[in-house]
Amino acid sequence: MTTDTNTRRRFLGRALLLAGAAGTALLRGPTALARTVNDYLSRIRGRVVLRSDPSYLQWWSAMSWFLFLPRRYPDLIVRAKSHEDILAALAYARHNKLRVTVRSGGHNPAHAVLRKGGMLLDLSLLRAVEVDPASQTAWVEPGIHAENLMALLDEHKLDFPAAHTGVVPIGGYVLGGGLGWNMPQRDIACRSILAAEVIMADGRKLIADATQNTDLWWAIRGCGPGFFGVVTRYKLQLYPLYPQMTKSKYLFAIDKLPHLCKALGKVASEKEDRVELLAVVGRFYPPDKPPAERDLVCAVSVFAFANSTEDARELMAPWQRSGMPEQALLKSENKRLTYEQMYAGQETDHSSPNRTAVENIWTDDVATGLQTLAKKMQDDPPPSPRCFALSGWGFSNTREDPTSCVATPSEHYLSWYLMAEEESHVPINRKWMDESVAALKPITRGHYINETDPLHYPEHARECFTQEGWQRLAKLRDKYDPDRVFFSWLGQKEKTA
């Protein structure tokens, strides 16, 4: 059994431990309390957990993926099993003037599902998928995990730009944009939303697509955790599955980073759309040692979404011509992989529950950004040796799209992730993050809503959209949720009902 497999199992085991706490509560927790509070709640066939329930803290801790949670407690948690449960939960919220936040899997690093008071509506049990191979489309419920969706699509030789982390559910991922596999060709994932079924604040069920409720469709395509409704199903555009998905990976000494960035910039300008080019700075070498004993290096992954071995070779050619592969400390080249294998081998996913501070930028100068973060990691190491910075070179080829609210203002993407091994690391990480955000401000052109923290940086929520788009979203909130049943983005001050 490989180290990667062992590590992944420990990672998934941690996830199951969190979910298991909730499962134990389901079996042992009292149900009579929730059933007698209100007639609306008595209609819910799923689980209702009140603050007074002895199992509340177990449920609360299982609602966010992360180990170190903010002390924000909803008044109740509703785990829906059906659309009827959602309608009853929203009716209860309206009747009791409770605000609502919606959860698919709790992977938002700002812990957007955890608010002070109100209702947390959990959709993680809604996982049905209906694939139509003839039209290359699928109706997908929000709770299905990326790796499970891709396994289902593989049976039909179909593909979707799903999340790079397999345990991320589709709901929050596509609602907030979705930076997925083969994004340079397939675009940000939300632009593959053909339609959506939505339950609005007043209980209306609507279909939003290119011909009806088009303003709502525009908002669903990228609005993120500030959305003013409950999306119960997405109709997704699917694509043919490439039969020769190929990966090459290299580790480079950190002193080669300036030269490496120059080469990556040239490759990004020459490569075809079917090449995904990622560079990650972290403590990865040598891989057989614990992270604390490793050196800071840059790991480059080159993915080719190809039709044949020869096609993959041609796609990889700009990188091979760069001269960088010969300078790698370690390399693994031209490995044909399935999505199951690609999901299994990512070390940076294994520690994701330990993330305490995450930020990102769209930038025209990703080389400066990555080198700035690398220097800071050398000169002022964050507490955990598992922190890292990720860069996507030539990652987005679409600057404007009038059918989606999401903004991708630059072709390059940079995000960085600070871990905590213990709670005392959290404030240290916050200071480190503040300093790095300030350092990268001159090259920042925008942000990605799913990996930003608008509670600490309220302006970053606005900077995930164009100014016109931000204003339009505010008008649509007034139109569809005038009584403010749904929470907006964290950190945003807005009028109340």
Q: What is the pLDDT of residues 475-496, one digit of tens each?
A: 999 999 999 999 999 998 766 5
| pLDDT over 50 (residue 7) | no
Residue 446, pLDDT score? 97
Within 8 A by CB and 6+ apart from 488, the residues are 226, 228, 477, 494
| pLDDT over 70 (residue 99) | yes
Q: List the structure tokens of 290.
A: 């614990």
Determine the average pLDDT of the residues in 161-186. Answer: 97
> Residue 13 — very low, low, confident or very high, per pLDDT cuts 50/70/90?
very low
| pLDDT over 80 (residue 327) | yes
Q: Are strands 119-122 and 100-103 parallel, antiparallel or unpaired?
A: parallel
Within 8 A by CB and 6+ apart from 475, the residues are none
Q: What is the pLDDT of residues 221-241, one digit of tens each?
A: 999 999 999 999 999 999 999
| pLDDT over 80 (residue 322) | yes
| pLDDT over 60 (residue 342) | yes
Distance between CA atoms of residues 394 and 270, nearest Å: 10
Which has more confidence, 463 or 350?
Answer: 463
Q: Supply the mean pLDDT for the chain.
A: 92
Nearest to 317 by CA among 275, 374, 346, 289: 275
> Does the domain made of 129-240 have the CATH classification 3.40.920.10?
no
CB of 316 closer than 8 Å to CB of 276? no
- Check whether the bond before 286 is cis (ω within 30° of 0): yes
Q: What is the pLDDT of residues 202-217, one digit of tens each?
A: 999 999 999 999 999 9
Domain locations along the chain: 3-122, 129-240, 244-460
Q: What is the pLDDT of residues 367-407, one digit of tens each?
A: 999 999 999 999 999 999 999 999 999 999 888 899 999 99
Q: What is the pLDDT of residues 442-461, one digit of tens each?
A: 999 999 999 999 999 999 99
Determine the average pLDDT of the residues in 249-274. Answer: 98
Residue 391, pLDDT score? 98
Determine how many CB atoms are found less than 10 A away from the CB of residue 11. 19
pTM of the predicted protein model: 0.91
Distance between CA atoms of residues 257 and 358, nearest Å: 22
Q: Position 192: which residue type?
A: S
Residue 346, pLDDT score? 74
Residues in the chain: 497
Residue 27, pLDDT score? 34
**CA distances (Å), origin 481, targets 120, 215, 448:** 17, 14, 24
Three-state secondary structure of the chain: CCHHHHHHHHHHHHHHHHHHHHHHHHHHCCCHHHHHHCHHHHCCCCEEEECCCCCHHHHHHHCCCCCCCCCCCCCEEEECCCHHHHHHHHHHHHHCCCCEEEECCCCCCCCCCCCCCCEEEECCCCCCEEEECCCCEEEECCCCEHHHHHHHHHCCCEECCCECCCCCEHHHHHHCCCCECCHHHHCCHHHHEEEEEEECCCCCEEEEECCCCHHHHHHHCCCHHHCCCEEEEEEEECEECCCEEEEEEEEEEHHHHHHHHHHHHHHHHHCCCCEEEEEEEEEEECCCCCHHHCEEEEEEEEEEEECCHHHHHHHHHHHHHCCCHHHCCEEEEEEECCHHHHHHCCHHHHCHHHEEEEEEEEECCHHHHHHHHHHHHHHCCCCCCCCEEEEEECCCCCCCCCCCCCCCCCCEEEEEEEECCCCCHHHHHHHHHHHHHHHHHHHCCECCHHHCCCCCCHHHHHCCCCHHHHHHHHHHHHHHCCCCCECCCCCCCCCCC
Determine the average pLDDT of the residues in 96-104. Answer: 97
Please name the CATH architecture into which domain 3-122 falls.
2-Layer Sandwich (3.30)
Determine the average pLDDT of the residues in 160-175. Answer: 97
129-240 against 244-460: fold identical:
no
Distance between CA atoms of residues 68 and 64, nearest Å: 9
Q: What is the pLDDT of residues 15-63, one digit of tens each?
A: 444 444 444 433 333 343 344 456 889 999 999 999 999 999 999 999 9
Helices 425-440 and 366-379: crossing angle in degrees, nearest 10, is 140
Determine the average pLDDT of the residues in 169-177. Answer: 97
Residue 39, pLDDT score? 81
Residue 495, pLDDT score? 61
Only one residue has tokens 């397999």, namely 166
| pLDDT over 50 (residue 361) | yes
Determine the average pLDDT of the residues in 80-99. Answer: 96
Only one residue has tokens 């709790």, namely 106
Question: What values do phi and psi take at 97, rounded to 5?
Answer: 55, 45
| pLDDT over 80 (residue 332) | yes
| % of residues, the chain, pLDDT over 70 | 91
Distance between CA atoms of residues 338 and 336, nearest Å: 7
Residue 347, pLDDT score? 75
Residue 494, pLDDT score? 64
Residue 493, pLDDT score? 79
Determine the average pLDDT of the residues in 409-425. Answer: 97
The CATH number of the domain covering residues in 244-460: 3.40.462.20
> Residue 273 — very low, low, confident or very high, per pLDDT cuts 50/70/90?
very high
